[in-house]
C-alpha cells in the first residue's frame, strides 16, 4: 500500500448499519476532488457489498478493503 496516497478524508461509520455507511460515504465523496482518496471505517457486514457497488456505479475506484480491529477499512479514490 505504499504506492497509495494518504487519504484526504477519513469517515468513521463503525456502529452504523445499512444504509447509513453508504449515505455518509456518498456525501463525503461528493465533497472531494477527482483523484482524492476517502478512507472509510465500517463494521456493518453489508458495507463491503454496498460500498463496492457504489464505487463502481459512481465511477470511483475501490483501492482496497482490509480487515481491521473494529471491522473493515475501505480506501476509495474519487473518479468523476
18 in catalytic set: yes
CA atoms within 13 A on the CB side of 21: 30
Report the sign of the C-alpha dihedral through residues 6, 39, 71, 65, in that order: negative
| Catalytic entry in 8, 14, 16, 18 | 18
Q: Report, as an integer, the average pLDDT of 62-79.
A: 96
Per the structure, the complete domain to which residue 39 belongs is given by: 9-77
Residue 4 domain flag? no
Residue tagged 476532488 (cell numbers): 33
How far the first Cα of the chain sits from its last, in Å, is 23
Segment 43-70, tens digit of pLDDT: 999 999 999 999 999 999 999 999 999 9
Nearest-angstrom CA–CA distance, 70 and 54: 22
Q: Is residue 39 part of a domain?
A: yes
Within a domain: 3: no
| Structural domain count of the chain | 1
Question: Is residue 44 domain-resident?
Answer: yes
1 found inside a domain: no
Percent of the chain at pLDDT above 90?
Answer: 90
Q: pTM for this one?
A: 0.92
Q: What angle do CA 12, 13, 16 make, to 5 degrees?
A: 155
Amino acid at each position: 500500500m505504499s504506492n497509495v496516497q494518504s487519504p484526504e478524508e477519513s469517515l468513521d461509520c463503525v456502529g452504523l448499519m445499512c444504509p447509513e455507511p453508504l449515505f455518509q460515504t456518498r456525501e463525503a465523496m461528493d465533497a472531494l476532488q477527482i483523484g482524492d482518496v476517502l478512507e472509510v471505517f465500517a463494521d456493518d457486514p453489508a458495507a463491503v457489498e454496498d460500498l463496492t457497488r457504489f464505487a463502481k456505479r459512481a465511477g470511483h475506484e475501490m483501492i482496497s478493503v482490509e480487515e481491521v480491529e473494529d471491522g473493515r477499512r475501505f480506501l476509495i479514490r474519487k473518479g468523476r
